Chains A and B, each alone.
Chain A
Amino acid sequence: MPVETPLQIAPPPERPWRTTWRVFAANRPALGALIVLIGIILAGLFGPYIVAPNPFEMVNVPLLPPSEEALLGTDFLGRDVFTALVHGARTTLLIGIAATLLTMVIGIGIGAFAGYFGGFVDDTLMRVTEFFLVLPNLVFAMILTTLFSPSIWMVVFAIGVVNWCPLARLTRAEFVRIKGQEFVLAARAAGASDMRINLRTILPNAMPPLIVSITLLIGVCILFEAALSFLGLTDPDVMTWGLMIGASRDYFWDAAWTVSYPGLAILITVLCIALIGDGLNDAFNPKLRKR
């Protein structure tokens, strides 16, 4: 009986997450964006405790340019731009994340069902997806917030409900691809239920491209919120960057700082998210990177 020689296994290469991190960190723009974004998140988390508590308070002379008294100036109602910006960081990010979560639940849920079950279920769900895809989503969101009270939750709902389509399609594609792999059949052979297979076998394997999509989605949701706020269709009691721009839009020529700073904030945040998403994409697929 031949003796089993000790099997040669190469020294364990680094764990998958470390490779991903290493590739990501080597991407300078992405790394820089991550640092900036962390800064913004920290500002949003802790800032409102440091600056004045109420951004709606009229603290100073209206339309004061940036100076010693008001770091970034004041708007037409005398509200401090810097305070508003800091509070806005928290709310804008929260709305973006909340809306993204809603989108994820709808999009991944529908995509997973369609991809896994196929057939009639797939056809139906995909027609529904295409229907929503064809709808002009900004208009639809506007209608929702106009019809129902424009509370902040309505805004989150409206954004979530119109943006899930691309994610659904991506999820479906991933599920269809992974479903055909033999390890899924192996799980079925072990008696796994459909639910278990979807959640514990297929979904973890589908995550890498989904993570990239979801990251980018946060940026999209933030922009969406800005658009709705700009049109005045959001909750007037919640200070967001979009609200700042919308409220001060008549003052762009005379008091640019009231509009530019929130605008810049949105730009930088969304840009950082895009760079991070891009970096994640490359990090998850090192084979696709051109050397």
Chain B
Amino acid sequence: MTVLSVRNLSVEFGIRRGLFRKGRVVRAVQDVSFDLIPGTTLGLVGESGCGKSTTGLAAMRLIDAHAGKVLFGDRDILKLQGADLRQMRSKIQIVFQDPFSSLNPRLTAAGIIAEPLEILGVGTPGTRRARVDELLMQVGLSPEHGGLFPHQFSGGQRQRLGIARALAPDPEILICDEAVSALDVAIQAQVLNLLARLQANRGFAMLFISHDLSVVRHVSDEVIVMYLGRIVERANAKTLFDAPLHPYTMALMSAIPSRDLDRPSTRIRLQGDVASPINVPSGCAFHNRCPFAQARCSKERPELEQIRDGHYAACHFAGRIERPL
């Protein structure tokens, strides 16, 4: 039932020095694999520099991947050319984070939503206009709003426009790259509910990228945690958050300030700052901040392995750590 299969995706950036292309190499994403299933949501979570946004952009070929495969049906997206590539574009769409820079300020709302249809050559101006009106209503706006410009809308409304635009070509996969992070919480709830409704109606698969664990937990069926370009843990949402296996996931969860005043504060305190992908530590990339690190961790990089049923972690001691509650 998988609609998209990502296998061993790797993305590298060269830091240019002068006239030559590559100085140092930043390995933003390394060996990432996951599947997207229609009607379900995969949450991709991690802090800045972990490569989650890069993964999403590479999976839909908005950035060039260095290695790996992205299989849509039986075709590798990364190898498509010309008309096939454009065909694919109508199947995978994205909603961006910033409601202010993700809409072309010179186009009307209707123009923005119709743009993918125009580019892909779908329908006639008449049918496109009808579809735009339909989409506007589906995202909670009205056809009159079509003639207005982006700066006349609020942040939450602009995000709705972004969603309408992404859904215009009726994609099978929707990637949300921090799509609600820039919104106030009350608006965030509205947009999350909207996305859930739309997914229930249209059945697309969703890749939800975010740094906000609470939102990811609410939205996702399955969750992946990334650290410095690699997947460190994967499980279904409930299991991951109820009983995380990787120390990083535990630290992330304990770092979130909770509204539960009676919860004892047993925080796992991480030393140091979020590591940068330019200087990836040897062995396990997390070992220099991990409160449970042993000698082995700086020498040998742990592979992502299944520890329990459907629950994977990349840690030498996964499943054997006494976790503070």
Touch between A and B in complex, CB under 8 Å?
A: yes
Q: Which candidate, B126-134, B145-153, B205-213, B254-262, is the interface stretch facing chain A?
A: B145-153
Q: Which of A197-248 contact B (CB under 8 A)?
A: 201, 204-205
Of B86, B104, B157, B169, which contacts A201 at CB under 8 A? B104
B98 interface residue, CB < 8 Å from A?
yes
CB contacts (< 8 Å) of A183 on chain B: these are 101-105
B165 interface residue, CB < 8 Å from A?
yes
Least Cβ–Cβ distance between A29 and chain B, in angstroms: 29
A-contact bits for B140-179, CB 8 A (1 contact / 0 none): 1110010011001100010000100100010000000000
Q: Which candidate, B34-42, B89-97, B235-243, B292-300, is the interface stretch facing chain A?
A: B89-97
Q: Which candidate, A8-16, A41-49, A136-144, is the interface stretch facing chain B?
A: A8-16
User: How far, in angstroms, from A10 to B145 measured CA to CA in the complex?
Assistant: 11
Q: Which candidate, B66-74, B114-122, B226-234, is the interface stretch facing chain A?
A: B114-122
A7 interface residue, CB < 8 Å from B?
yes
If A191-B120, A205-B105 touch, whether A186 touches B153 (CB-CB below 8 Å) is no
A4 interface residue, CB < 8 Å from B?
yes
Contact A9 B152 (CB under 8 A): yes
CB contacts (< 8 Å) of B85 on chain A: these are 191
Of B102, B116, B152, which contacts A182 at CB under 8 A? B102
User: How far, in angstroms, from A37 to B169 measured CA to CA in the complex?
Assistant: 49
A181 interface residue, CB < 8 Å from B?
yes
B325 interface residue, CB < 8 Å from A?
no
Of A2, A9, A191, A204, which contacts B89 at CB under 8 A? A191
Of B19, B101, B119, B145, which contacts A187 at CB under 8 A? B119
A134 interface residue, CB < 8 Å from B?
no
Contact A182 B96 (CB under 8 A): yes
A-contact bits for B196-224, CB 8 A (1 contact / 0 none): 00000000000000000000000000000
B62 interface residue, CB < 8 Å from A?
yes
CB contacts (< 8 Å) of A181 on chain B: these are 101-102
B320 interface residue, CB < 8 Å from A?
no
User: How far, in angstroms, from A205 to B115 measured CA to CA in the complex?
Assistant: 16
Of B89, B106, B142, which contacts A205 at CB under 8 A? B106
B60 interface residue, CB < 8 Å from A?
yes
Least Cβ–Cβ distance between B72 and chain A, in angstroms: 14
A123 interface residue, CB < 8 Å from B?
yes
Contact A186 B165 (CB under 8 A): yes
Least Cβ–Cβ distance between A177 and chain B, in angstroms: 11
CB contacts (< 8 Å) of A9 on chain B: these are 145, 148, 152-153, 157
Size range of the chain B interface in the assembly: 35 or more
Of A16, A182, A188, A204, which contacts B101 at CB under 8 A? A182
Q: Which of A16, A182, A192 has the most CB of B within 10 A?
A: A182
User: How far, in angstroms, from A59 to B62 measured CA to CA in the complex?
Assistant: 71
Contact B94 A12 (CB under 8 A): no
CB contacts (< 8 Å) of B96 on chain A: these are 182, 185-186
User: How far, in angstroms, from A10 to B140 measured CA to CA in the complex?
Assistant: 17
Residue of A nearest to B103 (CB): A183
If A9-B153, A12-B152 touch, whether A190 touches B102 (CB-CB below 8 Å) is no
Contact A12 B148 (CB under 8 A): yes
A28 interface residue, CB < 8 Å from B?
no
Contact A7 B86 (CB under 8 A): no
If A7-B140, A7-B157 touch, whether A187 touches B115 (CB-CB below 8 Å) is yes
User: How far, in angstroms, from A6 to B60 measured CA to CA in the complex?
Assistant: 35
If A186-B165, A189-B93, A190-B89 touch, whether A7 touches B102 (CB-CB below 8 Å) is no
If A12-B152, A123-B19, A189-B60 touch, whether A196 touches B119 (CB-CB below 8 Å) is yes
User: How far, in angstroms, from A210 to B62 measured CA to CA in the complex?
Assistant: 29
User: How far, in angstroms, from A190 to B86 measured CA to CA in the complex?
Assistant: 8
Residue of B nearest to A2 (CB): B193
If A4-B140, A7-B141, A185-B62 touch, whether A190 touches B104 (CB-CB below 8 Å) is no
CB contacts (< 8 Å) of B157 on chain A: these are 7, 9
Residue of A nearest to B139 (CB): A4
User: How far, in angstroms, from A181 to B169 measured CA to CA in the complex?
Assistant: 22
If A12-B148, A185-B96, A186-B165 touch, whether A191 touches B106 (CB-CB below 8 Å) is no
Residue of A nearest to B165 (CB): A186
If A9-B153, A191-B120, A204-B106 touch, whether A186 touches B89 (CB-CB below 8 Å) is no
Q: Which 7 A-B pairs have the closest CB atoms?
A: A190-B116, A191-B89, A182-B102, A191-B86, A183-B104, A4-B140, A181-B101
A185-B57, A192-B119, A205-B106 known; 17 new pairs, CB 8 Å cut-off, are A2-B193, A9-B152, A12-B148, A12-B152, A119-B21, A182-B102, A183-B101, A183-B103, A185-B62, A186-B96, A186-B162, A187-B115, A188-B62, A189-B89, A191-B86, A191-B89, A191-B120
A-B contact pairs, 6 of them (CB 8 A): A9-B157, A182-B97, A182-B98, A185-B96, A187-B119, A190-B115
